Chain A
Amino acid sequence: GDQVEQSPSALSLHEGTGSALRCNFTTTMRAVQWFRKNSRGSLINLFYLASGTKENGRLKSAFDSKERYSTLHIRDAQLEDSGTYFCAAEGYNQGKLIFGQGTKLSIKP
């Protein structure tokens, strides 16, 4: 079936630095969503993209349906950015959202 491979599974950054998370898809996807799971367990919506790139503060996301991947860039990381980040790709089959395995991000002072 359709799969979403998310990497890395864990990432440690020092405050003020940045990095990128990536999701690869085994098939063409219609759109992608990125979430952060907060300390209460809630999935916070970060981005929804059907194409191109979006930016919100220190976060930027890109989605390339043809090349079958999406990225989430974090710059100037802050302690409150810690948490588990998930990508989820929307297939063409009734809009099913398929989740990646998650990236546990730790920000160190």
Chain B
Amino acid sequence: GALVYQYPRRTICKSGTSMRMECQAVGFQATSVAWYRQSPQKTFELIALSTVNSAIKYEQNFTQEKFPISHPNLSFSSMTVLNAYLEDRGLYLCGAREGTGTGQLYFGEGSKLTVL
């Protein structure tokens, strides 16, 4: 079956430092990877949508300079939260699907970021 592994599960970092999280797809080809954030008391916000061999598209309020993403092959993606502050805390989820544009997204367990 299709599985997505995400790590680390939890990170506590000091304000102003950075945190990198990784996403591994197993059992299918992750042509598209979507990164989401669930902030406290909020629903899931899309950060960016990445497709292998295409440009990464960031949503409004999220930038490559703050959330650089790498998607080098069909099984792996990573995202870094640079210069993290309190407003960046939350649960970061990656969702991956085969193909582009449509299809079921499979999610990892998320990386919870706490900023001190």
Considering only CB atoms, which chain A residue lies closest to B46 in the complex?
A96
As a 0/1 sequence over residues 93 to 110 of chain B, the CB contacts with chain A under 8 angstroms (1 = contact) are: 101010011111111111
B interface residue count range (under 10 / 10 to 19 / 20 to 34 / 35 or more): 20 to 34
Tally A residues with Cβ within 8 Å of B: 23
Establish whether residues A94 and B57, one from each chain, have CB atoms under 8 Å apart when the complex forms: yes
Per the bound structure, the CA–CA distance linking A43 and B4 in Å amounts to 11
What 0/1 readout, one digit per residue, does chain A (22-47) give for beta carbons within 8 Å of chain B?
A: 00000000110101000011110100
B interface, over-half SS: strand
Tell me if B34 counts as interface (CB < 8 A to partner A).
yes
Indicate if B82 sits at the interface (CB-CB under 8 A).
no
Contacts of B44 in A (CB 8 A): 86, 88, 99
Q: A96-B34, A98-B46 are in contact. Are A33 and B109 (CB under 8 A)?
A: no
Q: Select from chain B the residue with minimum beta-carbon distance to A43.
A: B107
Q: Does the CB pair A42–B107 fall under 8 Å?
A: yes
With an 8 A cutoff between CB atoms, is B32 at the interface? Answer: yes
Whether A40 touches B32, Cβ cut-off 8 Å, given contacts A94-B49, A95-B97, is no
Which residues of A are found within 8 Å of B95, using beta-carbon distances?
Answer: 97
The 8 Å CB contact of B105, one of A33, A94, A100, is A33
Q: Is A101 an interface residue (CB 8 A)?
A: yes
Contact of B34 among A86, A97, A101 (CB under 8 A): A97
Q: How far is the CB of A74 from chain B (nearest CB, A)?
A: 20
Instruction: Contact check, B100 vs A95: say whether CB atoms are below 8 A apart.
Output: yes
**In the bound complex, CA of A35 to CA of B103 (Å):** 15
B112 nearest in chain A by CB position: A41
Query: Which residue of A31, A42, A96, A98 contacts B110 across the interface (Cβ within 8 Å)?
Result: A42
Contact A102 B101 (CB under 8 A): no
Chain A contact residues, CB within 8 Å of chain B: 30-31, 33, 35, 40-43, 45, 48, 50, 86, 88, 90, 94-102
Q: Which 3 A-B pairs have the closest CB atoms?
A: A48-B104, A99-B44, A43-B107
